[in-house]
Amino acid sequence: MQGKRILLGVTGGIAAYKSPDLVRRLRERGAEVQVVMTAAAREFVTPTTFQAVSGRTVRTDLWDPAAEAAMGHIELARWADAVLIAPASADFLARLASGRADDLLATLCLATEAPIAVAPAMNHVMWANQATRANVAQLAARGVLVLGPAAGDQACGEEGLGRMVEPLELAEQLAALLAGGGELAGRRVLITAGPTRERLDPVRFISNRSSGKMGFAVAQAARAAGADVVLVSGPVSLPTPPGVTRIDVESAADMLAAVLKELPGTHVFISTAAVADYRPVRAAQQKIKKANDTLEVSMERTPDVLATVAARPERPFVVGFAAETESVEQNARTKLMKKNLDMIAANEVGDDKAFDSDENQLIVLARGARYELGRAGKLALARGLVSLIARELAARADRSLRGTALA
């Protein structure tokens, strides 16, 4: 990030108290930082604080006669190599999504051609509100990078998803964005996520408790690492990570068909999806009526998406997931060998474990290697997993080069 010019927008929210530390983290990496504050932000932190840590006069007003005499908002928009809004309040996300230009920061975002990243911070109910989700999805579709939010305790005394990502992590993510590369730069990564549904009749299906959160986090982390990412997802209610191509499917057969279609040219295949193991032999054409005290359903195996990909003669680096209720590592190691995988990530599941949670922990097994990723947010774990995959790919390439040299 040496010599890069970062325009840091600060909006109104208690998380604004972290933003001076973010300025420091960015400057530690060699960046120049120009802070632009909204009126609401000045209710939480003073411009003097940011001037002290950035070494530059803070801009606050679109109608500043001195600055705007030379069209200062256009000058700043052209000056920036990247724009980071941290914290990004629900109000600012709404204004940005609607294309408003009613203050200096919003106007800069419209006038700049630099990449824009936002770090949302708000109460967890506000984050979950459909209006906020729609605004975020619209911004992501336009190429705005959405960093977070994280889960945890909130200033209101409640707990949930809505905390601003910590300054150190934001600085690292922005550095990766500006580097234009990453650990998986030039790689194509195909990921499956979420549950599948196997039809019982026109109104009922057999499924499982997978939320898809881990798979979507892996997709976001792989994209941030520079990969071209395709995400094949079962039915979930999650926004598509920025820059990721998403394909929605329903059944195991649908997922296999989509994966095989997207497989050519893929370098890494990561199967996080909780694919149903069985499906009804025949789905009823009409709703099954409650006529008897018991109902017998004949079941058959579904196609094994992971094993099918791993068995192909010319296949990518294959990573599986093992969700176990007991003997987690032993069962994962058996799956690694039986399905001829390159790597497997294992975690314990059950009531209050992994499903629908924003946190997890993983044991990662590769051929001749074992790693542990301790309890953390799923995005943090996803980044750790992506780094391990990149490490194994590099080691494989190194072994291949040494083998060629010896030959």
Amino acid present at 250: E
> For the CA atoms of 40, 23, 119, 272, what is the dihedral angle to 10 degrees?
-160
Same fold, 5-179 and 188-279+297-406: yes
Q: Would the pLDDT of 355 be above 70?
A: no
Is the pTM higher than 0.85? The answer reads no
Per-residue pLDDT at 275: 93
pLDDT, average across residues 364-392: 88
Per-residue pLDDT at 154: 74
Per-residue pLDDT at 69: 45
pLDDT, average across residues 88-94: 95
Tokens of residue 402, six digits: 């040494």
**Catalytic residue status for 156:** yes
Q: 206 near 197, Cβ under 8 Å?
A: yes
Per-residue pLDDT at 356: 59
Write the burial class of residue 14 (CB in 10 Å: 0-12 exposed, 13-18 middle, 19+ buried): middle
pLDDT, average across residues 24-38: 93
Per-residue pLDDT of 157-181, as tens digits, reads 777 788 898 998 888 878 877 766 6
CA–CA separation, 330 and 325 (whole Å): 12
Note the CATH architecture for domain 188-279+297-406: 3-Layer(aba) Sandwich (3.40)
Active-site residue, selected from the candidate residues 110, 128, 134, 156: 156
Q: Would the pLDDT of 26 be above 80?
A: yes
Per-residue pLDDT of 203-235, as tens digits, reads 898 988 888 999 999 998 898 888 889 999 999
CA–CA separation, 147 and 164 (whole Å): 9
pLDDT, average across residues 37-57: 95
Per-residue pLDDT of 98-150, as tens digits, reads 999 989 999 999 988 888 889 999 988 999 899 998 888 888 777 788 887 88
Domain extents for the chain? 5-179, 188-279+297-406
Q: For domain 5-179, give the CATH number.
A: 3.40.50.1950
Q: Would the pLDDT of 65 be above 80?
A: no
Per-residue pLDDT at 401: 60
